[in-house]
């Protein structure tokens, strides 16, 4: 009986992994995953979804994690906690550039709409930090 649960867990894990990879193949899904990771203070996952234009060394990655942490601390001091992150719209510009509009809904009922440019790298989409 115990082995049945192990097989079910393995199958579920593979299904989740496949679903995450599929989400990263769409600009909306990739952005949603990145923003949710950032909201959960999972800086490494967030940074994997960002196009920096070049590989970063460990010192640069540490700097970016620290900057993200400070920004998140400031954001949480200014705003109520994030209740949801919803994709509002996406506008494709060619095959490899997309602008995704998203909305934060905060615990106090306030909503904030923003946009993020995304760029396709191979089969996955990443947050584009540069123009």
Q: Residue 62 CB: number of other CB atoms within 10 A?
A: 12
Per-residue tokens: 111: 């909503």
Beta carbons within 8 Å of 125's beta carbon, 6+ residues apart: 24, 25, 26, 27, 29, 30, 31, 98, 118, 119
Question: Any idea what the Cα angle at residue 122 is, between residues 30 and 36, rounded to 5°?
Answer: 10
Give the CATH class of 2-128: alpha beta
Sequence spans of domains, the chain: 2-128
pLDDT tens-digit series, residues 66-125: 999 999 899 888 888 899 999 999 999 989 999 999 999 999 999 999 999 999 999 999
Look at residue 19 in the predicted model and tell me its pLDDT.
44
Tell me the C-alpha distance between 87 and 84, whole Å. Answer: 10
pLDDT tens-digit series, residues 4-24: 445 454 544 444 444 444 556
pTM score, two decimals?
0.75
Going by pLDDT thresholds of 50, 70 and 90, the confidence category of residue 54 is confident
């Amino acid at each position: 009986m115990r082995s049945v649960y192990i097989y079910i867990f393995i199958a579920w894990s593979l299904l989740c992994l496949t679903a995450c990879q599929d989400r990263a193949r769409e600009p909306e899904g990739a952005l949603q995953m990145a923003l949710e990771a950032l909201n959960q203070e999972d800086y490494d996952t967030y940074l994997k979804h960002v196009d920096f234009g070049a590989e970063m060394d460990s010192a640069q990655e540490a700097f970016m994690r620290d900057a993200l942490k400070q920004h998140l601390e400031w954001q949480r001091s200014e705003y109520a906690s994030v209740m949801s992150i919803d994709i509002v719209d996406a506008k494709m510009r060619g095959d490899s550039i997309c602008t995704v509009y998203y909305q934060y809904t905060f615990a106090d009922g306030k909503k904030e709409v923003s946009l993020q440019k995304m760029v396709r790298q191979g089969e996955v989409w990443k947050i584009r930090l540069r123009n």
